[in-house]
Amino acid sequence: MPVNPELVGRDFAPTTPYLVGREKVREFARAVFADDPQHIDPAAARALGYADVVAPPTFAIVVTDATLQQLLAEPDSGIVLQNVLHAEQKFRYSRPIVAGDELTAKLAVTGIRAMGAAAMVTSESEITDAAGDHVVTATSILLVGEGDQ
Amino acid sequence: MSAASTGPTGALAVGDVVAERTVHLTRESLVRYAAASGDFNPIHYRDDVAAAVGLPGVLAHGMLTMGLAIATIESWVGDTGRILDYGVRFTKPVVVDPVSGADVSIVAKVGAVDEESARIDLTVSFEGTTVLVKAQVRVRTV
């Protein structure tokens, strides 16, 4: 198994806060063919009770990119990006992400399971807002193959 | 009136289709998603790199497929704050031809109902093959 099993339970620093911009939300919504007005029109979002445009549900993955970079940056991880396949993804929401949010992600590697020469790595990124309240937890399962380049 | 037009707080029966659509992806769609998401893995825009790592062609980002799949049900859901969780398994790639692109079809059906929520099962297919497995959204219905 190429992946270092000691990554499980390792303490990772919270990521630098990510400020969600209105135009970024619009850009992402267009990219995922999400044309509902709540993503584009602040008035439509306000009518639903939100302060500004609402990000599509999978926008959380953009905020978790910094945690993937943390994992790849661990010198002893055994994980090389080109050997990584995204096997599963799940999001559990307390509320949607809204433009104006300042979000921090905290990474935890919760499981590593050998699969022949490869490994299934489960990681959780808990995303909280500036008040420290939970927004969404993103759980990724990566299939990591062998190779050192 | 069918459940599809009543939204998540209406009467829901297992098997009801709440939404469906087909999305046509082109290479431009992949470049657009790369920029919007920050995922610049070249297997999503360079034929030579895709071929070098043994892929059948340039692939759509899995997260693009996951994102466009759930967007199918948003007009039925209304407030996306009703979405409690959403998960998928990525099983088959969506190969995007440089000329003809790729058509991804989504059918969203009620999979289960309890007192507070409904599970919407998304069937996401490309060229007749399911590309996401266990693509399930739990939506608050109260």
Q: Is the pLDDT of residue B4 over 80?
A: no
What percentage of chain A carries pLDDT values higher than 90? 87
Between chains, do B80 and A38 touch, taking CB under 8 Å as contact? Answer: yes
Helix (DSSP H) and strand (DSSP E) numbers for chain B: 4, 5
Joined together, the tokens standing for residue A43 give: 């008035």
Residue spans of the domains in chain B: they are 12-140
Question: Residue A68, SS3?
Answer: helix
Does residue A16 fall inside a structural domain?
Answer: yes
**Which residues of chain A neighbour B74 with C-beta distances below 8 Å?**
34, 36, 38, 56
Does residue A51 fall inside a structural domain?
Answer: no
pLDDT of residue A147: 64
Contact with chain B for residue A145, Cβ under 8 A: no
Contact with chain B for residue A86, Cβ under 8 A: yes
- Tell me the average pLDDT across B20-42: 96
**B85 to chain A nearest CA, in Å?**
4
Tell me if the pTM is above 0.90: yes
**A105 to chain B nearest CA, in Å?**
16
- Tell me the average pLDDT across A120-124: 96
Q: Is the pLDDT of residue B83 over 60?
A: yes
Burial A112-129 (b: 16+ CB within 10 A, else e): beeeeebbbbbbbbbbbb
CATH code for the domain of A134 = 3.10.129.10
Q: Is the pLDDT of residue B3 over 60?
A: no
CATH topology of domain B12-140: Thiol Ester Dehydrase; Chain A (3.10.129)
Q: Is the pLDDT of residue A149 over 70?
A: no
Mutate to test the interface with A, among B37, B89, B122, B133 (most CBs of A within 10 A): B37
Does residue A27 fall inside a structural domain?
Answer: no
Between chains, do A31 and B87 touch, taking CB under 8 Å as contact? Answer: no
Between chains, do A34 and B88 touch, taking CB under 8 Å as contact? Answer: no
The ipTM of this complex is 0.95
pLDDT class for B84, splitting at 50, 70, 90? Answer: very high
- Dump pLDDT digits (tens) for B120-134: 999 999 999 999 999
Does residue A139 fall inside a structural domain?
Answer: yes
Handedness of CA B40, A98, A140, B94 (dihedral sign): negative
Q: Is the pLDDT of residue B54 over 90?
A: no
Joined together, the tokens standing for residue B99 give: 């000329």
Does residue A35 fall inside a structural domain?
Answer: no
Does residue A116 fall inside a structural domain?
Answer: yes
Nearest CB partner across the interface for B36, out of A31, A92, A139: A31
pLDDT class for A148, splitting at 50, 70, 90? Answer: low
The domain tally of chain A equals: 1
Does residue A25 fall inside a structural domain?
Answer: no
- Dump pLDDT digits (tens) for A35-62: 999 999 999 999 999 999 999 999 999 9
SS (H, E, C) B72-125: CCHHHHCCHHHEEEEEEEECCCCECECCCEEEEEEEEEEEEECCCEEEEEEEEE
- For residue A88, the enclosing domain spans 5-20+57-144
Residue of A nearest to B80 (CA): A96
**Which residues of chain A neighbour B68 with C-beta distances below 8 Å?**
32-34
